[in-house]
A and B are shown apart, each in its own frame.
Chain A
Amino acid sequence: MTPELGQLALILALLLALAQGVLPLLGAWRGHRALMAVARPAAAGQAVFVAMAFALLVWSFLSFDFSVQYVADNSNLALPWYYRIAAVWGAHEGSLLLWIFILNLWTLALATLSRNLPEVFVARVLGVLGLGAVGFLAFSIFTSNPFARLLPMPADGGDLNPVLQDPGMTFHPPVLYMGYVGFSVAFAFSIAALLGGELEQAWVRWARPWTNVAWGFLSAGIVAGSWWAYAELGWGGWWFWDPVENASFMPWLVGAALIHAQAVTEKRGGLRAWTILLSIFAFSLSLLGTFLVRSGVLTSVHAFASDPRRGLFILCFLAVVVGGSLLLYALRAPKVAGGKPFGVVSRETAILVGNLMLTVAAAMVLLGTLFPLIGDALNLGKISVGPPYFGFLFTLLMIPVVVLLPFGPYLRWGKGDSPLLKQVLLRTGLATVACAIVAAFLTDGQAKAIAGTAAAVWCCIGTLLYVIKRWREMPAGRRYPAEMAGMLLAHFGVGVFLAGVMLTNALSVERDVRVAPGQTESIGGYDFRFDGVQQTQGPNWQGDQGVVTVLRNGREIAVMHPQKRTYLRGQVQTESAIDPGLFRDLYVALGEPMDRNHPDGAWALRLYDKPFVRWIWAGGLLMMLGGFFAAADRRFRTRKATEPAEMPAPAWQESRA
C-alpha cells in the first residue's frame, strides 16, 4: 500500500505543479489577480505531496519493502539503517525524487521570502519554477518511477553500490543538488524579467542572494564529491575531469561569472543582457549535467543505469526549457546596452575579463566532455581528451583571473585609481616574489611548487592588504559589510585552493611497495612499518585490515588501518586509511596479498605523502562561506515594494567614490 500512496502523492504533485506553472503565468499576462494568487498555495501543496512521496520511499527502505523494485535493487537486510536512508538517492529514480524535493524546498523558500516583491513578478517567477517541476515530475512518473513493484517479491535485496557506502556520499548528492537546483531560481528571475519586459534593474538585486547561496551550495557539493573520490576510490586523486565531475563544474564556473555580472548589473546597470544570458546558461548547464549523467550518452565512472527512453525525455525537456528561454532571450533581451560608462581601468573591466575567462573555461570543459560524442558523430572513433587537455587549457584560462583577482576590491566602479593600484601592485608583487624565492629553496626549484606558492601568495596577500586597509580607514562596525566579507572570503579561498592544488601536484610522493610483516618502507621522511593483516568485519562486509605504523625519526605518529572489504554480493572495495594533517596527508591503500594462500605473508601496499592536499577543500569551503556571507547582506533584504526601488548605495562604495 505504501508505494501506491507514494505514487499517488507524486501524481497529485504533478497536477499541482501544472497549476503552479500555468495559472500564475496566465494571470500575470492577463492581469488577473486571483490566478496569480494560485502560485503560493500550489507550490506549498506540491511540496507537501513530494515530501510525502520522499518520506514513503525512505519508509520503504527502512522497512525492507523488497516488493518495491528500487528498494530491492539498492538495499538488503544487512545494510545499516543510515545507508538505507542514503540509498534513497543512491541510484537514478531516487536521486530524481531528491532533485524534485529540493526544487520544492527552493520554491517554498522563495514563496515565503518574496512577500515584499511585486505580485506580478513573483507570480511569473513561481510559474517558471512550477513548469520546471512539471518536467521533472513527469520524467519521474513516466520513465523513472521509484515506486514500481517487483513481483514476486525477493526474500532479500541486492546491494547499495559499495562505492556509495561512505559518509561523504551520504551528503554529497543532496548538497550538490541544492546548488544545481538553486540556479533554477536565478533562471526563473531572468525569465520572469524577460516575460515582463522589466526595465527596472531591481530584479537583479532580488536575484543576487539566491544566486550566491546556490553557488555556495554547489561549491560545497563539489568539495564533498572531490573529498569522497579521494578517500574512497583509493587512487589518492581528488579530481579526474570525469564527465560527471565536469557536469557539476560547468555550472559552477558560469555561476561564478554570474555572481560578478549580477553585481555589475545591479550597481551600474551594465551587462544587462549578459546577466540574463548567464542565468540561463547556469541553469541550462545544470540540466545538461542531468542529461549527461542520466541518458548514458557518455560513459563514466559514475555508472548510473542508462536508458534511451530516459535520454530522449530529458533531451526533449532540455530542448523545450533551454531552447525556449534562449529564443525568449533573442526576442526580448534588453536592446540597448544600458548602464553607466566605464573606463579601461575600472572594476567593470576587471569583472568583464574574469567573466570572459570563466565562460570560455566552461565552454572548454563542455567541448572536452562532449569530445567522445563528437568523435562518434564525425566517425573518428572513440576519442577522449583526458586531463592533459583540461589541465593545460584550464590553467591557461585562469591565469588572467588570478592576476586580476587581488585588484578587484581596490578598483572603483567606472574609473580606476592608478596611484593606489601601483602601491598595491608593488606590495603584493614584492611579497609574491619573496615567497616564491623561499619556495624555490625549500622545494629544490620545482616549477609547479614555485608557481603555486606565487599564485597563492598573490591572491591571499592582495586580499589581506585590503582587509588591513579597511580596518585602518573605517570606523568599527562599518568595516566589513556582509557582501564585502563574502567577496574577501571567497577571494582568499581561491588563494588557499591554488596553494593546495599546485603544492599537492608538485610535492606528492607515491610508492607502490611490496612489504612483509615487520618490514619498513620510507617516503617523504616518514617510515611506514607494515604490521600484518587482520580479519575484520562490518555490518554487511568482511575484510582484510592492514596495520601500518607510521614513524618519524623513530617516534610513532600514527597507526593506520587500510581495508579491503568484500561486500555481501561479492563486490570488493578498498577503504584507504588517511592520517590527515594541516600540511600533509598520509594515505595508505591496501592492495593484494602476494600469495593468496598466505595472507600472513607479504602484501602490496600503496603509500602516499600528499602535502597541502587539505588546502584544496579548505579553499572550496572558504568560497562556499563567501557565497553564504554575501547573500546575508542587509542590503538584499527586500522591503515593501511600494518604497522607491532605488536603494542607497552601500557606505563602503560611497567612501571610495
Chain B
Amino acid sequence: MSRLLPFLGFLLLVVLFGFGIWWNTQHDQREVPSPLINKPAPAFVLPRLDDPAQSVSREALLGKPYLINVFASWCVACGEEHPVLMADGKSIGVPIIGYNYKDAPDDAKAWLAQHGNPYDTVIVDQEGRTAIDFGVYGAPESFLVDGKGIIRYKRIGPLTPEAIEKELKPAIAALAKEKP
C-alpha cells in the first residue's frame, strides 16, 4: 500500500492541474476587473488632435453616453481593430471619442489619414498622464461612459465584431432602457 502513495499523491496533483486548465478557460487572465466600472470617469481636460487650442473635458461630454477608444499609431493591435471600427463604428449608436495615447500628433494624423477616421472627436494625451487615472494598461482599450459620466463597460484589447455584438451593444442598449 505504501508503495502506492506516490501514485495517489500524483493523482491529486493531476486533478488540481486539470482544475487549473478548466479555471483558465473560464476566466480571462488579462481580465483584471476594472475598479472603475460603475464609478465616475476621472476628470480630464485634453486638447483636440485637429485643433490643440480647443480642449475636451469630462464635463463637456456629460448628458449623452459615449465610447472612449484608446489608440496610437505605434500600436499594432490598433491596426487590427481599426477596420472593425471603420465598419461597425457608426452602427453602435453612440459617439466614439478617439483617445490618442502617448503618440506624436503628426504620426496620429498621418495614421488616421491613411486608414480612415472612425472617431467623432480625437483627444490627445501625449504624456499618458490622464491615462493613468483611467487605469489604461496599453492600447487599444475602450471605455463606455454613460450620460452621468459613469464608466459602464471596459474592454482591454481590440474590439472585435463579436465583442461589439455580444458585449458593447447590449451595454449600450441597457443604458437606453435606464433613461426614462
Chain A residues close to B by CB (< 8 Å): 158, 273, 277, 280-281, 284, 291, 295-299, 306, 308, 311-312, 315, 318-319, 322-323, 326-327, 329-331, 333, 370, 373-374, 376-377, 569-570, 596
Contact = CB atoms under 8 A, between A and B. Distances in A.
B24 A326 contact: no
B10 A308 contact: no
Contacts of A281: 6
A407 to B, nearest CB: 30
Contacts of B163: none
Given A295-B17, A376-B23, 15 more contacts: A280-B6, A297-B24, A299-B29, A306-B29, A308-B21, A311-B20, A311-B24, A323-B14, A330-B4, A330-B7, A373-B16, A373-B17, A373-B19, A377-B16, A570-B75
Contacts of B23: 376-377
B18 interface: yes
Interface in B8-66: 10-11, 13-14, 16-21, 23-25, 29
A297 B21 contact: yes
A322 B25 CA distance: 25
A373 B7 contact: no
A306 B30 CA distance: 12
Given A323-B7, A326-B6, A327-B7, A370 B16 contact: yes
Contacts of B24: 296-297, 306, 308, 311
A281 B17 CA distance: 17
Interface string B54-82: 00000000000000000000111000000
Contacts of A327: 7
Closest 6 CB pairs of A and B: A297-B20, A326-B7, A330-B3, A311-B21, A330-B4, A308-B25
Nearest to B2: A330
Contacts of A322: 10
Given A277-B6, A330-B4, A323 B17 contact: no
B127 interface: yes
Nearest to B14: A319
Contact of B17 (A299, A315, A333): A315
A273 B25 CA distance: 40
A276 to B, nearest CB: 10
A318 B13 CA distance: 11
Contacts of B16: 370, 373-374, 377
A331 B4 CA distance: 8
Given A296-B24, A376-B23, A315 B18 contact: yes
A596 B10 contact: no
Given A306-B24, A329-B7, A297 B76 contact: no
A323 B21 contact: no
B20 A295 contact: yes
Contacts of B19: 373, 376-377
A312 B19 CA distance: 11
A297, A312, A329 pick with most chain B CB within 10 angstroms: A297
Binding site of B, secondary structure by majority: helix, strand, loop or mixed?
helix
B21 A315 contact: yes
18 contacts: A295-B17, A296-B24, A297-B17, A297-B20, A298-B20, A308-B25, A311-B17, A311-B20, A311-B24, A315-B18, A318-B14, A318-B17, A322-B10, A331-B3, A333-B3, A373-B17, A376-B20, A569-B74
Contact of A329 (B3, B13, B76): B3
B13 to A, nearest CB: 8
Nearest to B15: A377
Contacts of A295: 17, 20-21
B46 to A, nearest CB: 17
A370 B20 CA distance: 10
Nearest to B11: A323
A158 B79 CA distance: 14
A329 B76 CA distance: 52
A315 B14 contact: yes
Nearest to A297: B20
A327 B6 CA distance: 9
Given A296-B29, A297-B24, A323 B18 contact: no
Contacts of A370: 13, 16
Contacts of B14: 315, 318-319, 323
Contact of B10 (A291, A298, A323): A323
A308 B19 CA distance: 11
Nearest to B27: A376
Contacts of A570: 74-75
Contacts of A323: 7, 10-11, 14
Contacts of B17: 291, 295, 297, 311, 315, 318, 373
A312 B21 contact: yes
Contacts of A330: 3-4, 6-7
Max chain A Cβ within 10 angstroms of own Cβ: one of B7, B16, B19, B23? B7
A311 B18 CA distance: 9
A281 B18 CA distance: 20
A333 B1 CA distance: 12
A331 to B, nearest CB: 8
Nearest to B18: A315
A326 B10 contact: yes
A299 B18 CA distance: 16
A273 B4 CA distance: 13
Contacts of A291: 17
A459 B29 CA distance: 45
B29 to A, nearest CB: 6
A373 B19 CA distance: 9
